[in-house]
Amino acid sequence: MANYLEQGMNNNAIHTEEIQLNPCSEEGQDNTDRTVNYTEDDWALVKDKAHEIYKKIVIHMDKGADSLEVQKLIAELRQHITADVCNCTPELLRQLGNIYAFNKRFTGKVDHYRDGFAAFLRKAIYIYCDNINET
């Protein structure tokens, strides 16, 4: 779990002491960790799904983070995380975006898809979260 979703930094500051290894364990959240009994093969499938979504996002990067195509893919990423990892709340998704952009270990992995992809992904995630209507 920790190697896929680490809790990121808040919007105001970036402090390594704020990183929590398992964001699915936040108190008061319906964030049941679906990965408790995952095998290496299960994890490979989870990572492969994310990889496919990232590749599709890269194809549409030139359209902008707020483009309909990119926003639909961010929704698909969120659905994937919710289905295969834990309930991906908007707050959790924002934290993931922060990790992509600000955690050098993750930024390097994400930017291999395309230079600047980590920052782009964070921006697209924030736009998505700002515009969804959670009821």
pLDDT digits (tens, 9 = 90+) for 33-89: 677 888 999 999 999 999 999 999 999 999 999 999 999 999 999 999 999 988 999
Q: What angle do CA 128, 135, 97 make, to 5 degrees?
A: 25
**Class for the domain spanning 16-131:** mainly alpha
Q: Which of 17-21, 59-63, 87-91, 123-127 is predicted least confidently?
A: 17-21
How do the domains of the chain map onto residue ranges? 16-131
Q: pTM here?
A: 0.77
